[in-house]
Amino acid sequence: MTTVLKQNRVFFLTLTLLLLLTGILQLFYTQTELMQWVNSHYHPAADAFFRNVTHLGDGAFFALVALILAFRAFRYAVLALSSFALSSLTAQGLKHFAFPNALRPLAYFEQTTWPYRLIEGLDIHRFNSFPSGHSTSAFAVFTLLALLDERKGRGWFFVLLAAITAYSRVYLFQHFVEDVFAGALIGTASSLVVYGLLDNRWERRPADWHKRRFRLKKPQPAK
Which CATH code, of 2.50.20, 1.25.40, 1.20.144, 1.10.287, is assigned to 2-115+126-211? 1.20.144
The model's pLDDT over 137-191, given as tens digits with 9 standing for 90+, comes to: 999 999 999 999 999 999 999 999 999 999 999 999 999 999 999 999 999 999 9
Task: Give me the DSSP letters along 23-91.
Answer: HHHHHHS-HHHHHHHHHHS--HHHHHHHHHHGGGGSHHHHHHHHHHHHTT-HHHHHHHHHHHHHHHHHH
Taking CA atoms, 220 is separated from 154, 213, 215, 217, in Å, by 39, 21, 15, 9
**Torsion angle of the four alpha carbons 79, 80, 85, 86, in this order, in degrees rounded to the nearest 10:** 60
Q: Are 119 and 173 in contact (CB under 8 A)?
A: yes
Q: What average pLDDT does this structure show over 202-223?
A: 69
Q: Are 128 and 163 in contact (CB under 8 A)?
A: no
Is 90 exceeded by the pLDDT of residue 83? Answer: yes
| Confidence (pLDDT) at 5 | 86
Count of CB atoms situated within 10 Å of the CB of 17: 12
The pLDDT mean for the chain works out to 93
Angle subtended by helix axes 133-148 and 177-194, to nearest 10: 40
Distance CA 162, CA 91 (A): 16
| Confidence (pLDDT) at 4 | 84
| pLDDT category of residue 110 using cuts at 50, 70 and 90 | very high
| Confidence (pLDDT) at 222 | 59
Distance CA 60, CA 188 (A): 19
Q: Amino acid letter at 166?
A: A
Q: What average pLDDT does this structure show over 200-223?
A: 69
SS3 of residue 124 by DSSP: coil
Is 80 exceeded by the pLDDT of residue 115? Answer: yes
Q: What secondary structure letter does DSSP report for 98?
A: I
| Confidence (pLDDT) at 64 | 97
Residue ranges of domains in the chain: 2-115+126-211
The model's pLDDT over 117-131, given as tens digits with 9 standing for 90+, comes to: 999 999 999 999 999
| Confidence (pLDDT) at 122 | 93
Distance CA 72, CA 58 (A): 22
| pLDDT category of residue 209 using cuts at 50, 70 and 90 | low
Angle subtended by helix axes 133-148 and 9-28, to nearest 10: 160
Q: In the chain, what percentage of residues exceed pLDDT 70?
A: 95
| Confidence (pLDDT) at 18 | 98
